[in-house]
């Protein structure tokens, strides 16, 4: 499998000033690496800095990135704050009575009209909620916004991080617009988008509602957009119907591909799944990734080099997996 590499591979040595802030506890311990029992995720990054052991590093990252700003970053951050501060519309006094099938269809249509490239719905699971937070809404609507690959492919250059900020802003606008529409129909709804984490870890509901599967780089691979998208969500009590998970079998590729593992400048990507809070899955070593991530505008190199992220390639790869599996099944039947 051929691919391009964004930066020459060399040993990465983190800055002393960053490592002096490193807490005594490993981020992998906080994340539950090696734990056999399922449990809620613990807040670790992108929560209030004063509330987590790695919060000083999060603050340091912001200051470090500001010294080497990405093009147009200031305007992008301003726009992001403007969208974030928007006041939600009031919930209509009377709620519109429609079937869950109607609302399911309408949410998909509305989210697409608002600009989301991916939409899915999942019933809330308490195990997706960060420790210390509560969620009473029965449903989570997941939204995906696609990043411009021509900019993403420059990762870990600052320009790629501008694209991330831009898409987080777009995701938040769509989530808030969708929530406002639901509120105008007389139901509760709250929109949210990263990078700051909210009450829910977005990855499990996105997997549950059909966005794809985790790749070796620890991010979701989608059959249409690969790993080149960001997530947003709406929590709501609108009566809905769940979408199904999309079983792509990305492991058929990941088990024979070492691109992200080899190109990660921090050596944070493992070639074996690991036990995390009761589940065997692809897991990125937090302690190895974070120093490079912090010094390189959020990095994203692993997403950029993943062959699934190249525009137009994902559907072909998904199709190839399906055909190969069908051939193997036929051979098996013939024996």
Binding site residues, ligand SF4, CB under 6 A:
215-217, 253-254, 257, 259-260, 264-266, 268-269, 284, 289, 292-293, 299-302, 306-308
Tell me the C-alpha distance between 185 and 232, whole Å: 21
Contacts of 41 (CB under 8 A, 6+ apart): 31, 32, 128, 130, 131, 201, 277
Q: Supply the minimum distance, in Å, between the C-beta of residue 14 and ligand SF4.
A: 11
Q: Supply the minimum distance, in Å, between the C-beta of residue 251 and ligand SF4.
A: 8
Instruction: Give whichever of 84 and 262 is closer to ligand SF4, judged by the CB atom.
Output: 262
Instruction: Give whichever of 30 and 266 is closer to ligand SF4, judged by the CB atom.
Output: 266
Instruction: Give whichever of 41 and 307 is closer to ligand SF4, judged by the CB atom.
Output: 307
Contacts of 241 (CB under 8 A, 6+ apart): 100, 101, 104, 121
Instruction: Give whichever of 70 and 266 is closer to ligand SF4, judged by the CB atom.
Output: 266
Instruction: Give whichever of 32 and 307 is closer to ligand SF4, judged by the CB atom.
Output: 307
Angle (deg, nearest 10), helices 73-84 and 158-184: 20
| DSSP assignment string, 13-51 | ---HHHHTT--SS-HHHHTTBT--S--PPPP-SSS-GGG
Q: Supply the minimum distance, in Å, between the C-beta of residue 38 and ligand SF4.
A: 24
In this structure, how many other beta carbons lie within 10 angstroms of the beta carbon of residue 93? Answer: 6
Instruction: Give whichever of 57 and 175 is closer to ligand SF4, judged by the CB atom.
Output: 57
Q: Supply the minimum distance, in Å, between the C-beta of residue 215 and ligand SF4.
A: 3
- Taking every pair of Cα atoms in the chain, the longest distance, rounded to a whole number of angstroms, is 65
Cis peptide bond upstream of 128, omega within 30: no
| DSSP assignment string, 81-117 | HHHHTPPPPPPPSS-----HHHHHHHHHHHHHHHT-S
Q: Supply the minimum distance, in Å, between the C-beta of residue 8 and ligand SF4.
A: 14
Q: Supply the minimum distance, in Å, between the C-beta of residue 114 and ligand SF4.
A: 29
């Amino acid at each position: 499998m051929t691919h391009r590499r964004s930066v020459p591979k060399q040993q990465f040595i983190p800055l002393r000033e960053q490592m002096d802030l490193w807490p005594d506890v490993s981020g992998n311990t906080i994340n539950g690496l090696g734990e056999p029992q399922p449990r809620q995720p613990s807040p670790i990054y992108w929560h209030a800095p004063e509330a987590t052991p790695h919060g000083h590093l999060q603050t340091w990252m912001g200051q470090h990135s500001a010294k080497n700003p990405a093009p147009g970053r200031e305007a992008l951050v301003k726009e992001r704050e403007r969208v974030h501060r928007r006041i939600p519309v009031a919930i209509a006094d009377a709620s519109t009575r429609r079937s869950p099938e109607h609302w399911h269809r309408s949410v998909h249509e509305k989210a697409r009209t608002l600009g989301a490239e991916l939409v899915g719905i999942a019933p809330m699971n308490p195990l997706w909620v960060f420790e210390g937070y509560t969620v009473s809404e029965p449903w989570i609507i997941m939204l995906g916004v696609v990043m411009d690959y021509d900019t993403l492919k420059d990762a870990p250059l600052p320009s790629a991080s501008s694209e991330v900020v831009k898409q987080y802003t777009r995701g938040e606008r769509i989530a808030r617009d969708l929530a406002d529409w639901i509120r105008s129909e007389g139901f509760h709804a709250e929109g949210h988008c990263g990078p700051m984490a909210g009450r829910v870890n977005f990855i499990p509901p996105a997997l549950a509602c059909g966005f794809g599967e985790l790749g070796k780089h620890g991010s979701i691979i989608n059959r249409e957009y690969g790993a080149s998208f960001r997530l947003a969500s709406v929590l709501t009590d609108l009566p809905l119907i769940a979408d199904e998970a999309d079983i792509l079998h990305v492991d058929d590729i990941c088990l024979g591909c070492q691109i992200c593992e080899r190109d990660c400048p921090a050596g944070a990507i493992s070639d074996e799944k690991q036990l995390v809070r009761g589940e065997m899955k692809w897991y990125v070593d937090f302690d190895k990734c974070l120093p490079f991530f912090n010094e390189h505008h959020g990095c994203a190199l692993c997403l950029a080099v993943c062959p699934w992220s190249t525009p137009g390639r994902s559907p072909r790869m998904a199709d190839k997996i399906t055909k190969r599996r069908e051939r193997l099944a036929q051979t098996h039947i013939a024996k």
